[in-house]
Structure 1
């Protein structure tokens, strides 16, 4: 990787960390970015909250 490319990535990474106050470290920021990219491109399933359909029954109704 050339220095210019590395500088652009480092600048973007610092900006990402500044925009995400809960990001505690460079490694955590990189992991978050990769997880988001992999999810948005279909390599990871999207995170879902709640019960799986097979776990639903009448006792789950509100």
Structure 2
């Protein structure tokens, strides 16, 4: 990167990767950051997590 803020971005990327040790390659970290940004800004639908309806029963109630 040769942009004026590239050092700050590189530092932030390294910090993000340090928070996820051994789990992300540089490309995976960038993809995760972009996916999060696109989702929070409405460009991607939020990914839903949870149990499938057929897996729900009274033991799942909180």
TM-score, scaled to structure 2: 0.71
Q: Which has the larger radius of gyration?
A: 1
Alignment RMSD (CA, Å): 1.8
The gaps in structure 1 that reach 5 residues or longer are: none
Q: Name the structure where helix makes up a greater proportion of residues.
A: 1
Aligned residue pair count: 54
The gaps in structure 2 that reach 5 residues or longer are: 58-62
- Structure-2 change in CA distance of 1:25 and 1:42 (3 Å): same
Measured after TM superposition, the shift of residue 24 of structure 1 is 2.5
Runs of 4+ in 1 over 2 A off after TM superposition: 21-24
Q: Find the counterpart in structure 2 of residue 5 from structure 1.
A: 5
Inter-partner Cα distance in structure 2 for 1:19 and 1:43: 25
TM-score, scaled to structure 1: 0.71
